[in-house]
A and B are shown apart, each in its own frame.
Chain A
Amino acid sequence: MTDTIDPRSWLYPTPRGLYCKPGDFYIDPAVAVPRAVVTHGHGDHARPGHRAALATPETLAIMRTRFEGMPDTSQQPLKYGESVRIGGVDVELAPAGHILGSAQAVLAYKGQRIVVSGDFKRRPDPTCPPFEPIPCDVFITEATFALPVFHHPSDMGEIGKLLRSVATFPERTHLVGVYALGKCQRVIRLLRAAGWDKRIWLHGSLLALCKLYQEQGVDLGDIAHVSDAILETFRGAIVLCPPSAIADRWSRRFADPVPAVCSGWMRVRARARQSGAELPLIISDHADWSELCQTLKDVGAPKVWVTHGREEALVHMARSLGIDAEALHLAGREEEGT
């Protein structure tokens, strides 16, 4: 353990985001900055308008899809496991297992190593490589589901619930609410793995990112836009859409649909009912409580900084494990629909 320098002297939160002083760059800044390291493509981590952005090639591709090609941003791809030195700081990206291209930023400076995990999960995901625990001096962890009530069940079990419901109500359309980036494509892959080889219909806002995933080599099978079909086609069909579309005018085209929502929040009944889900499916791209606790043990960092989510519970847990833990309040982090 190297404790010669104070980690806060070279990496600390600012109103624009987490700032690395010797490297003069921000990690997942909340606003456009001169130089940014971006862990993954979700909107609260990847923002448009940076002068220069460093990220995995997949994340840069996602950003180009979301931000109209990003012609004004100088883009520096860095593959998993490769390293680059920026102002005396060695920067490496390691898989985070969250979505396609998602990475932990591994920063080494003067013999001290800080890992910024970004968002992560520990269970297998057919659309991205698994989280890699990196031993470090300081581990910065997310805390989206950091309460002991969050235990995500097996994702294939949840997909099984969806397919049983489709078998029980063969006349009805199953409208499945999914986050457009990551969740959508993972659910499609899980459905394929569970043997659903029929066409999966998509809301228009999911098309571009599915196309990108296909270009990146993720096989999604037979997918199509709902507006290309006539009404009768949707009986017994599975249609994916953003969660907000379930209660929107768009959904009126389906007769008597079964609204399903895929999210870690579905674990809590009040949240599931708020979402309008008749069939809540607990499928999350974030670590649950036991994965968060296990990860703290796996990386073995003596210091842990906890960001976005229920920080106090994870700080409490880390301290009970003898870890020097504190909450790190970052600007611009919102609760995702994941």
Chain B
Amino acid sequence: MQAFAALLDALSYQPARNAKLRLIEAYLKETPDPDRGWALAALTSGLDFPAAKPALLRGFGEDKIGAELFHWSYDYVGDLAETLSLIWQADAAAGPPPTLGEVVDTLQTATRMQTPAILQRWLDSLDATGRWALLKLLTGELRVGVSAPLAKQAAANIGNQPVNAVEEIWHGLTPPYRPLFDWLLQGAPRPSSNAGGAFLPAMLANPIERAELEVLDPTHFRAEWKWDGIRVQVAASGGVKRLYSRAGEDVSAAFPDIIEAIDFEGVFDGELLVRRDETVASFNDLQQRLNRKVVTPKMLKDHPAHVRLYDVLWLEGEDLRALSFDQRRARLEAWNAEKPRARFDVSPLVIFTDWAHLAELREQMTSDGIEGLMLKRGDSAYLAGRPKGPWFKWKRDPMLVDCVLMYAQRGHGKRSSFYSDFTFGCWREAAGKRELAPVGKAYFGFTDEELRWLDKWVRDHTTNRFGPVREVAPELVLEIAFDGIARSTRHKSGLAMRFPRINRIRTDKPAAEADTIDNLLKLLGTAGVEKPAESAYVTAP
């Protein structure tokens, strides 16, 4: 348990990705089975202890120091597990602290009645960091800045394997993953990936611009719309049905309507959308459906989910990934024609003669539901990762507005001495006065040299400080590029930009000539309508 606690402790203070990887790798190599496997499960959110819930911890704390002191302490610290770990005092008579494996084994067999006494004995035996790690583990929210893909990357690294080799077998494995470590570290054969509903690593595209297309032969490429939803994989085999994000995160629970509609065996690549009758709803509508633990019947009815299929990877027990795109496409279309389904359809190909023609089609497509075009070589096999050459994304040109820099905040990690997070606003009239309303925040788009310039500008024009945030004189115009804009109740201006970045620093432009909120509203389509306007939808081709 102490080694695991030291790992979590170090991770929680380490902002850099590579350093986090090194910490996890060292732990996985040095820690014996089964502890390292349980730790990997904890880092990938694979463990659940239903008997150790917040109410139990709160009760412990109140018993220890009284309700008032516990309340003030929790209020100050802001984290229940941490508060309890800090007020608890180790007891030398409690015996040796438990191992991670012991914690997991014991809690899996202990009854709800037994859990409190066991937990108290462990808390007595651990130091403050150990208690914190134990309680974080039990409550299931580690919050040490490690995502499941990062933890899997670390596991792959210890065996000098590509992360995809781990991803591909991941969903067939269960903690404490002994066969995984036997393969990675002992040279045992790789565990099988044929388990039901396994995720297959997704193939990703590289961005491309109009000018770069000229060296490519248009007859080698197929084009399809890039729908503005979420890239997903539908995987069904051996009776197991799953929906994954493109990173391999299992999102099935949030989309029971999709899971229920799976009446086939196979693995498909597609775009998750909200679709009402024949129209695809905006990305905002889809966001309503994400990250929900409980999906209400009303939500299912008002925001029905749909998957628009791009590709097929497995079909009825056959791995199709080595086939060409054209061959897979033919299989996909034949499969779809056999039995059309309400929740699944096939994204149509965009037929074009040459690049100029395709550029024209791209210009004409003004719908919000489409982000741009995908270009895929007809002879491309389905390869994991982001290989250079076979697939490209040709996004719509970003929208541009001129905003005024309002606040700047220090960044993290290597950027921690730079003001690198910028909040900017546009003009509006309020009570007869012209004022700036913040419309977004951007922390990239600039070069290192521009960052140094911006950092200095912020320091030289600070008018006010709020902790790590500086308010600056409203004098610098930034040209902001973004991919979309929608109404939002979360922002003061009532607007939220998608993917905003700093395109240019406009020292040539006076701040008074920056854009107004009214200009931004025009980009919304029909402004000022509570309900999403008709123009926010696109008709499915």
Interface string of B54-91 (1 = CB under 8 A from A): 00000000000100111011001111001100110100
Report chain A residues within 8 Å CB of B410.
247
Residue contact B13 to A278, C-beta cutoff 8 Å: yes
Compute how far the CA of A248 lies from the CA of B468 in the bound complex, rounded to whole angstroms. Answer: 11
In the complex, B99 has a CB within 8 A of chain A = no
The reply on A65 being an interface residue by CB < 8 A is no
A223 within 8 A of B: no
Q: Contacts of A251 on B, CB cut-off 8 Å? A: 417
Contact partner, B13, options A147, A252, A268, A272, Cβ 8 Å = A272
- Cβ of A155 to closest chain B Cβ, rounded Å: 16
State whether A269 touches B79 (Cβ < 8 A).
yes
Residues of A within 8 A of B77 (CB): 149, 268, 270
Cβ-based interface call for B12 (8 A): yes
B393 to chain A, nearest CB (A): 35
Closest to B456 in A: A249
Interface pair B78/A316, CB less than 8 Å apart = no
Q: How many angstroms from the CA of A25 to the CA of B391 in the assembled complex? A: 80
Q: Does A236 contact B (CB under 8 A)?
A: no
Contacts of A148 on B, CB cut-off 8 Å? 65, 69-70, 73, 86-87
Return chain A residues, CB-CB under 8 Å to B78.
270
- The reply to whether B12 and A312 form a contact with Cβ atoms under 8 Å apart is no
- CA distance in complex: A317, B70 (Å): 12
> Nearest Cβ distance between residue A174 and chain B, in whole angstroms?
14
**Interface residue A287 (Cβ < 8 Å from any Cβ of B):** no
Quick check: is A280 within 8 A (CB to CB) of the other chain?
A: yes
Interface string of A235-257 (1 = CB under 8 A from B): 00000000000011101100000
A316 touches B76 (CB 8 A): no
Q: Is the CB of B82 within 8 A of A269?
A: yes
A151 at the interface (CB under 8 A from B): yes
Which of B12, B68, B76, B86 makes the CB contact (< 8 A) with A151?
B86
Contact of A268 with B72 at beta-carbon distance under 8 Å, contacts A149-B86, A248-B417 already known: no
Q: Please tell me if B296 contacts chain A, counting CB pairs below 8 Å.
A: no
A198 at the interface (CB under 8 A from B): no
Is the CB–CB distance between B69 and A313 below 8 Å? yes
Q: B416: CB under 8 A from chain A?
A: yes
With A and B bound together, what is the CA distance between A268 and B128 in angstroms? 11
Is the CB–CB distance between A313 and B72 below 8 Å?
A: yes
Distance of A267 Cα from B83 Cα, bound (Å): 10
Within the complex, the shortest CB–CB distance from B114 to chain A, in Å, comes to 27
Chain B residues within 8 Å of A317, by CB: 69
B419 nearest CB across to chain A (Å): 10
For residue B327, CB closer than 8 A to chain A, the reply is no
User: CB distance A267 to B72 under 8 Å?
Assistant: no
| A310→B79 CA distance, assembly (Å) | 18
Chain B residue numbers with a CB within 8 Å of A277 are 13
CB-CB nearest in chain A for B84: A149
Chain B residue nearest in CB terms to A273 = B13
A7 within 8 A of B: no
Does B417 contact A268, Cβ atoms closer than 8 Å?
A: no
The answer to whether B82 touches A268 (Cβ under 8 A) is yes
Does B14 have its Cβ within 8 Å of any Cβ on chain A? yes
Residues of B within 8 A of A316 (CB): 68-69
- Residues of A with C-beta under 8 A to B15: 278
A160 within 8 A of B: no
B88 shortest CB reach to chain A, Å: 10
Residues of B within 8 A of A270 (CB): 77-79
Kindly state whether residue A279 has any CB partner on chain B within 8 Å: yes
Inter-chain contact A310/B13, CB cutoff 8 Å: no
- Is the CB–CB distance between A249 and B417 below 8 Å? yes
Within 8 A of A (CB), among B375-428: 410, 416-417
Is B73 in contact with A149, judged by CB distance below 8 angstroms? yes
* Most B CB within 10 A of own CB, among A268, A269, A273, A276: A269
| Contact of B69 with A252 in the complex, beta carbons under 8 Å | no
Q: Which of A147, A247, A259, A279 has the most CB of B within 10 A?
A: A147
Question: Would you give the shortest CB distance from B408 to chain A, in whole angstroms?
Answer: 13
Residues of chain A within 8 A of B72, CB atoms compared: 147, 310, 312-313
Q: Note all chain B residues with C-beta closer than 8 A to A274.
A: 468
Interface-central residue, B15, B410, B416, by most chain A CB under 10 Å: B416
User: Counting chain B CB atoms within 10 Å of each CB, which of A270, A278, A280 scores highest?
Assistant: A278
Closest CB in chain A relative to B92 CB, distance in Å: 15
The reply to whether B417 and A310 form a contact with Cβ atoms under 8 Å apart is no
Alpha-carbon gap, A312 to B68, bound state (A): 10
Q: How far is the CA of A317 from the CA of B89 in the complex (A)?
A: 18
| CB-based nearest B residue for A270 | B78
CB-CB under 8 A from A278, the residues of chain B are 13-15
Contact B416 A276 (CB under 8 A): yes
A189 to B410, CA, bound (A): 33
Inter-subunit contact A252/B76 (CB<8 Å): no
The one of A149, A269, A276, A279 in contact with B87, judged by C-beta atoms closer than 8 angstroms, is A149
Complex Cα spacing A328 to B83, Å: 27
Q: Which residues of B contact A267 (CB under 8 A)?
A: 86
What does the 1/0 interface line of B86-112 toward A look like (CB < 8 Å)?
A: 110100000000000000000000000
Closest 8 CB pairs of A and B: A149-B86, A148-B87, A149-B73, A148-B65, A313-B72, A278-B13, A147-B73, A247-B416
Provide a sorted-by-A list of 21 A–B residue pairs whose CB atoms are within 8 angstroms.
Answer: A147-B72, A147-B76, A148-B87, A149-B77, A149-B83, A149-B86, A149-B87, A247-B410, A247-B416, A252-B417, A269-B12, A269-B82, A270-B77, A270-B78, A272-B13, A276-B416, A278-B13, A280-B13, A312-B72, A313-B69, A317-B69
19 new A-B pairs (CB below 8 Å) besides A278-B15, A313-B68? A147-B69, A148-B73, A148-B86, A148-B87, A149-B76, A151-B86, A151-B128, A153-B128, A249-B417, A268-B77, A269-B12, A269-B82, A272-B13, A273-B13, A274-B468, A276-B416, A278-B13, A279-B13, A310-B76
